[in-house]
A and B are shown apart, each in its own frame.
Chain A
Amino acid sequence: MTRGDLAWTVETRGAVRLVAPAGRIDEASATAFAERLAQEIDSAAACGSAKLAIDLAAIDYMSSRGLRGLTLAQRQSGESGIAIVLVRPNEIMREILAISRYDKVFQVFDDIERIGTA
């Protein structure tokens, strides 16, 4: 993996498509991050998923470019009727979400199991 690459794992849990990127989301990787999220929204729509959950446990950090990529994805997913939620933010991501106030504009879950019941 070179600088700018993110490692992704994807799984479907009922009506939730769970994607888990790993690495730093900065200026070098933000565009690829946003493009991959757009693909995942399309995939979630094709599978009939109601939610796209983005697992933040393995994110080293996310700059404003990455955060704004989340917002662009949220706008796109809204058109498809899919809700984007954030799950398992690590300590760094929890701080970044609080500082940017993104924890006010996204639903954030500590536990993957709670997404489906929310």
Chain B
Amino acid sequence: MKVRFWGTRGSLPVAQKAGTIRDKIAAALVAADGRKFADVNDARRFAEDEIGFAVSGTYGGATSCVEIEADEEAFIVCDLGSGVREFGLDAMGRCAAGHARTYHVFLSHFHWDHIMGFPFFVPVFDPNAKIVIHSGHTDAEEALRRQQEEISFPVAFDWLRADISFRLLEPGQTYEIGAVKVQLIEQNHSHKSYGYRFTNAAGKSVVYSTDSEHKIDAMDAEEAFVAFFGDCDLVICDTMYSLADSISMKEDWGHSSNVVAIDLCHQARVRRLALFHHEPTYSDADIQRMHEESIRYEELTREHAPLDVICAYDGLTVEV
């Protein structure tokens, strides 16, 4: 099973400015310290191995969209943030090479950043595509139709060519969808959100849990998440804020922190945690620092096997 991150930013898409790129180039040149490179590949190795990711790359700016590749019979994708535009283009290429044109979409909720990519998702114009929108909410169709009304977008929902259907899922049930078993859990967020657990035939499992606030006055409720995350190979978690922010000025904004995510994953004996739904005001350096601090917090609080803490970025592929 592979997990591909097509959009990892929270709330709002962001783009790099010219000055930011210039600063990265300047930092790389200083790090190179006059060194000569034999060719582009030699320079690329230097960029990948010898300077930090915040300088050599970027965490990206597309909003939530994560693909779970289980087989070639159907695509599985979590959320329709702006990252789904690029996923759609890539998927069309794979379909041309023989991949089935079935898409199972799992929506955490319908806030803009999680559905804004749908009007630009090219497979909706493919008359041979079948798209099933799975959700724990009863109003998924209303949300997607509403954002394509004329006041918001020039292409109406009814003009889309794919066979699009909606399916309501319930927490506590296990569904066999495509090549995976799927479970969901209700999360605390405005208008609710849902987290999903995907398990393939080999028993490998991935949890997608974003836009989920773990309330300070309901900490006992975290036991349900520990059980839901239990023994998981990869948990993708909303880590938008620092703990202090999440319980002070940003309390009730519906998001969680890196340290709560690590604690939940430690309790659940999770093997790998992907930090996700990055704060849009964070620079690449800010996100890298948050990642480094998260790794350190995991070390300081570890009681059992190590938890591998990775930081999701647009374009990252993880083998589970």
Residues of A bordering B, CB below 8 Å: 26-27, 30, 61, 63-65, 67-68, 71-72, 92, 95-96, 98-102, 104-105
Contact = CB atoms under 8 A, between A and B. Distances in A.
A27 B263 contact: yes
Contacts of B216: 68, 71-72
Given A27-B267, A65-B219, 12 more contacts: A27-B263, A64-B263, A67-B243, A68-B216, A68-B243, A96-B301, A98-B293, A99-B259, A99-B293, A99-B296, A102-B244, A105-B244
Nearest to B290: A99
Contacts of A96: 297, 300-301
Contact of A101 (B245, B296, B303): B245
B126 to A, nearest CB: 45
A74 B229 CA distance: 31
Q: Per DSSP, are chain A's interface residues mostly helix, strand or loop, or mixed?
A: helix
Nearest to A70: B247
Contact of B257 (A61, A63, A64): A64
B242 A100 contact: yes
A29 B78 CA distance: 36
B173 interface: no
Interface string B137-180: 00000000000000000000000000000000000000000000
8 contacts: A26-B301, A63-B259, A63-B301, A64-B243, A71-B216, A99-B258, A99-B294, A99-B296
A101 B243 contact: yes
Interface residues of B, number: 23
Contact of B296 (A64, A95, A105): A95
Interface secondary structure of B, over-half rule: helix
Contacts of A27: 263, 267
A68 B263 CA distance: 12
A55 to B, nearest CB: 19
A67 B259 CA distance: 10
Interface in B249-284: 257-260, 262-263, 267
Interface of B: 216-217, 219, 242-245, 247-248, 257-260, 262-263, 267, 293-294, 296-297, 300-301, 303
A100 B257 contact: yes
Contact of A100 (B217, B259, B267): B259
Contacts of B242: 100-101
Given A27-B263, A64-B259, A100 B243 contact: yes
A68 B216 CA distance: 6
A71 B248 CA distance: 9
A58 to B, nearest CB: 16
Nearest to A92: B300
A67 to B, nearest CB: 6
A72 B300 CA distance: 23
B296 A102 contact: no
Nearest to A100: B243
Nearest to B245: A101
A64 B267 CA distance: 12
A70 B296 CA distance: 21
Contacts of A65: 219, 263
Contact of A99 (B217, B248, B263, B297): B297
